Structure 1
Amino acid sequence: MISDPLILALVLLGIMFALLLSSMWIGFALFATGFAGLLLYDVTLPPTISIWDRIAQILANSIWNSLNSWALAALPLFILMGELLYRTAISTRLMNALTPWLSNVPGRLYHINVAACSLFAAVSGSSAATTATVGKITLKELHRRGYDKRLAIGSLAGAGTLGFLIPPSLIMIIYGVLSDTSIGRLFMAGILPGLVLAGMYSLYIAVACLLRPDAVPASDERYTMRQRLVALKDLLPVVLLIVLVLGGIYTGLTTPTEAAAMGVLGALGLALISGSLTRAALGEALLSTVKTTAMICFIIAGAAFMSQMVGFVGITRSVSQYITALELSPYMLLFILGLMYLLLGMILDGISIVVMTLPIVLPIVVLAGFDPLWFGIYVVIMVELSQITPPVGFSIFVIQYISREDVATIFKATFPFFLITVFMVVLITVFPELVFYLPNKMLR
């Protein structure tokens, strides 16, 4: 039995990572760690209550409280919306609409990855769905036209992570539910940083192509203004869906869950109009939604149980007191947390990182004087980094499947965009108004 919460925390950390490295499902690993913490902690209980009674009580309360949330109902709806759009011709239409407008910009069609990912992120909520949907069209087309494959892959990997930052975002929904932060405010807070990050990606592409002109093939394609305006018709369905989903939230007419339901109807409408909604495609979308939702909810339940254990045995309080005693500056605390998130990103997916760390990290961050809304955007960007961090970067594996390139080549191509995303973390830390401007402006 262990009576010191800090020693217990180190033991449990070792147990959890051992279980994760054994290829156990993340949800099971979290539940097992919670059980281990309650069994190893030297706690005195009334004679009428056994440790198993207390474990059963904590288990039932944590699962019910974590999943009995109306806001969480938006999760499967946004997942379904992304799945439906993934199986339509939306990425092809986006490329057709954007090509005439980007033909004279330095870097030309490389910017399609950034623009298309930004637009698709605003209707999907998923980094993986954004990367896969845009990449399956753009990588092949850019290669056919003679564009440098490494820059094409890197721009896709970087821009694909915008699926978590530009709302609606699955990570923001999970963070909002777990931290009791307004999901609508989180959505608004992510817009400006998302657009700034997309702009920095495009700026890098333009500069890289000016320095290496051979990365862009020679082309005599010329488009008239009339052709460009006609091409916009392919953008109209996506723009309307963005307005449908986000407009209601920002004007206060709908909750995120209601907006998600409207988004599903809009996605179904787009799929019907494009003629790509077959019975098989609909069945695949529904089945994939059920699998993804069940996986996420299982992880959330496991994390909630572990969180209750962490509070029960006093780990959160002890860790907070220990960090306070170190007298770290708030920015040094953020730096240490950033290193922690980067390390976790090497072995865990983004959702697991959020649900596992938030119960311990959030009270410490709030105590240091940071707003939970701002920290939510910080966490989302760190989760973006986990998507392109070796060896478990999920977006990397998606791109490998699409491009058939080896992982080492993809990581090298992605590294400049990784550094740009790190710089974005610095930017919102130095200028937090990037996060607060829209929520404060629109809710006055």
Structure 2
Amino acid sequence: MSALTIGLLIFVVTVAVLATGIPIAFGLGAVALLFMVAFDGWSSINFVPETIFAGLSDFTLVSLPMFIIMGAAVASSRAGSDLYEALSRWLHRVPGSLVISNIGACALFSALTGSSPATCAAIGKMGIPEMRKRGYDADLATGAIAAGGTLGILIPPSITMILYGIASETSIGRLFLAGVLPGLMLTGLFMAWALFISWKRGTVLVDADRIYSMKEKFELLPRLLPFIAVIVGVVYALYGGIATPSEAAGVGAALCLAMVVVIYRVWRPMDLWAILRDGLRESGMLMLIMGTSILFGYMMSSLQVTQSVAQAIGEMHANRWLILAAVNLLLLVAGMFLPPAAIILMTTPILMPVITAAGFDPIWFGVVLTINMELGLITPPVGLNLFVINGITPDVRLPTILKGAFPFMLCMVVAILILCVVPEIATWLPKALMG
């Protein structure tokens, strides 16, 4: 049996196993063990512990639980509502101001938490009822929050970027910088669509029923200072030559915990325990997925599947943009069924030789891949953000949420096309600051 045939068989079995609803870590581990034993014999089991623990011994992985705790701390406070209220007061005269305010709040909140579901829940609980009360259609109100929440995996610090950096052996610091301008660009595209559709539907003046004084506008600005302090602290530690990404993540976690204790009075032992418990639970889940994904990648490599796929694509002599289109289609389909972490850890070892052979910058491709992962978060049947929004607004049907999110999906596709035409949007900042 050829390596490509084995690869196709692995793909079919993996999809079938994961379709049963089994936890992803256990599913990937079971498939890896099955094919290792089937093709290499029972002796291959001896390599399992060594492979998993060697893969998880990377010092960079220390940053994962730190960034997760950072997000859990912010999500446990009233930070999301403060962001939303401050932005809405300043933008209330702009057409579609409430939607734009919510998207801006999602961008800032998700940049701190790095979690799309947490952003959707925190901003959506306050923003969606307010938008609907002010006359915005349910599809626009819910779709904007579902899409805005995805910005958390592109705007740094991003857990998705960390996983891609580890899997592709590229600089996490450069990846963080590469996500800044594309993240701002995508936020701008979301806001532009919100402004246009609000104007078209005639919901231009619904936010102008109250005039905020300058005092009212400025009184909430001090509440934004802690967010700015946390971001500046992490960025300075990371790019000022003071700390590695792992140490900078520790700085961010410490600053966020201090912020919620001092400013938001989240100081009770049970509150702090909830933050640490949630951080530990999510970290453990990611580590399990990473460990079994590493084993899955080892199995693919030992059976020559990875090498054969890369060689077959290289021998096609196809236009590199056709190759990129095929890769994006693969990622989009995978994103409909799997979470971003699993996709990145499963596909990066296979795709990196193809991408580099086609002459694409791995840092730039990390941004394109991340935007593709954002698409998956609002694409059925497993669009996680869609179900989060449906959970906090049960009276809005899932098709309505999907209808509102669809234009924002097109914005993501436009962002990928813009990055293909002007890759410097992703590559300029890392080169300018890090050489």
User: How does the TM-score come out when normalised to structure 1?
Assistant: 0.94
**Counterpart position of 2:22:** 24
Q: Is the 8 A contact 2:99 2:194 kept in 1?
A: yes
Q: Which runs of 5+ in 2 are unaligned?
A: none
CA contact (8 A) 1:89 1:276 kept: no
Q: Matches of 1:206 and 1:306 in 2, distance apart?
A: 45
Segments ≥4 residues shifted beyond 4 Å:
none
Q: Compared with structure 1, are the counterparts of its residues 313 and 22 closer, same or farther at alpha carbon in structure 2 (3 Å cutoff)?
A: same
Superposed, which structure 2 residues align to 1:275-314 within 5 Å?
A: 275-314=265-304
Work out which of the residue numbers 368, 371, 377 in structure 2 matches 1:381: 371
Q: Which of 362, 379, 391 does residue 352 from structure 2 map onto? A: 362
Q: Is 1:242 aligned with 2:226?
A: no
Matching residue of 2:105? 116
**Per-residue deviation at 1:178?**
1.3
Please name the residue that 1:224 is paired with.
213
Measured at CA, do residues 296 and 128 of structure 1 come closer, stay the same or move farther in structure 2, by a change above 3 Å?
Answer: same
1:441 is matched with: 432
Structure 1 match to 2:173:
184
Deviations 1:393-443 (A, max 9, x none): 111111111111221111111000011011111111111101111101111
Of residues 138-147 and 195-204 in structure 1, the stretch that sits farther from structure 2 once superposed is: 138-147
Aligned position for 1:427: 418
- Residue 6 of structure 2 corresponds to 8
Identity %: 36
Matched residues in 2 for 1:329 and 1:262: separation? Answer: 45
Q: Map 1:338-357 onto structure 2 (within 5 A).
A: 338-357=328-347
Mapped contact 1:147–1:215 kept (Cα < 8 A): no
Q: Residues of 2 paired with 1:403 and 1:262: CA distance?
A: 36
Describe the superposition over 1:54-100 as per-residue Cα deviations: whole angstroms up to 9, x where unpaired: 3322x133212221011111101111111111110101211221122
1:278–1:140 distance in 2 versus 1, CA, 3 Å: farther
- 1:421–1:216: structure 2 CA closer, same or farther, 3 Å change rule? farther
Letter in 1 for 2:87: L
Does the CA contact (< 8 Å) of 1:166 and 1:191 recur in 2?
yes
**Structure 2 residue matching 1:326: 3-state secondary structure:** coil
Contact 1:86/1:133 (<8 A) preserved: yes
Q: CA deviation at 1:125?
A: 1.5
In the alignment of these two chains, the number of paired residues is 433
d(CA) in 2 for partners of 1:218, 1:74: 41
Q: How far apart in 2 are the matches of 1:65 and 1:381? A: 30
Residue 349 (structure 1) shift: 1.1
Q: Distance between the aligned counterparts of 2:243 and 2:114, measured in 1?
A: 17
| Residues 1:208 and 2:208 aligned together | no
Q: What's the CA shift string for 1:309-348, capped at 9, x where partnerless?
A: 1111111121112112222211101111111111111111
How far apart in 2 are the matches of 1:73 and 1:418? Answer: 33
Say whether the 8 Å CA contact 1:188–1:250 is kept in structure 2. no
Which of 326, 332, 339 is matched with 2:322 structurally? 332
Match of 2:339, as an amino acid? D
CA change 1:217–1:56 in 2 (3 A) is same
Structure 1 counterpart of 2:248, from 244, 247, 259: 259
Amino acid at match of 2:357: L
1:167, 1:191 within 8 Å by CA — same for their partners in 2? yes
Question: Where in structure 1 are there 5+ consecutive unaligned residues?
Answer: 44-50
Q: Secondary structure at the match of 2:407?
A: helix
Q: CA deviation at 1:218?
A: 5.8
Rounded Cα–Cα distance in structure 1 between residues aligned with 2:299 and 2:74:
40
AA at the equivalent of 2:134: R
Q: Secondary structure at the match of 1:391?
A: coil
Residues 166-177 of structure 1 mapped to structure 2, 5 A cutoff: 166-177=155-166
CA contact (8 A) 2:100 2:191 kept: yes
Q: Is contact 1:164-1:171 (8 Å) kept?
A: yes
- Partner-residue secondary structure (3-state), 1:235: helix
- Write the deviation string for residues 166-206 of structure 1: whole angstroms up to 9, x where unpaired: 00001011111111111111100000000000001111111
8 Å Cα contact 1:165/1:190 also seen in 2: yes
Q: Helix, strand or coil for the counterpart of 1:327?
A: coil
Alignment equivalent of 2:135, drawn from 128, 143, 146: 146
Match of 2:401 among 403, 407, 410: 410
Q: Deviations over 1:122-161 (max 9, x none)?
A: 2111222222221122112223333322211111111110
Is 1:97 the equivalent of 2:95? no
Q: Secondary structure at the match of 2:374?
A: helix
Q: Counterpart of 1:47?
A: none
C-alpha separation between the residues in 2 aligned to 1:52 and 1:211?
A: 65
Please give the alpha-carbon distance, in whole angstroms, between the structure 2 residues aligned to 1:317 and 1:220.
Answer: 63
- CA–CA separation in structure 2 for the residues paired with 1:144 and 1:267: 32
Of stretches 214-223 and 175-184 in structure 1, the one that deviates more from structure 2 is 214-223
> Which SS does the other structure have where 2:117 is aligned?
helix
1:19-53 per-residue CA deviation (whole Å, 9 max, x = no partner) reads: 11112211111112212222333x6xxxxxxx333
Specify the alignment match of 1:46 in structure 2: none
